[in-house]
Amino acid sequence: MQEATLLEKFYRLPAHSQEAVARFIDFLLSEAKQPKNGAKTEKRTGFGSWKGIRLSADFDAPLEDFKEYME
């Protein structure tokens, strides 16, 4: 939309509506300055995310409970 058209519409509004438009523009500008929270602060899990957790050496060994099933 052309700037002239926007200004023309803005000036046709009553004073209280012009103030509301100005506040909304300020809101949009402040929102545009803030970084998006989801993209940079999102914590992802993956290999090495549980540092300090150790698995036992026989972690992949068959369990006694499934012995009948495995035969």
Q: Does position 4 have pLDDT exceeding 70, yes or no?
A: yes
pLDDT recorded at residue 35:
72
Tens-place pLDDT, residues 22-57: 999 999 999 888 776 655 556 667 777 777 888 888
Q: Does position 9 have pLDDT exceeding 90, yes or no?
A: yes
pLDDT recorded at residue 55:
81
State the total domains in the chain: 1
Helix residue spans in the chain (DSSP H):
3-12, 15-33, 37-41, 67-70
Q: Give 63's DSSP letter.
A: P
| Rounded Cα distance, 3 and 1, in Å | 7
| Domain housing 42 | 1-68
Q: Does position 67 have pLDDT exceeding 60, yes or no?
A: yes
Global pTM reads 0.46
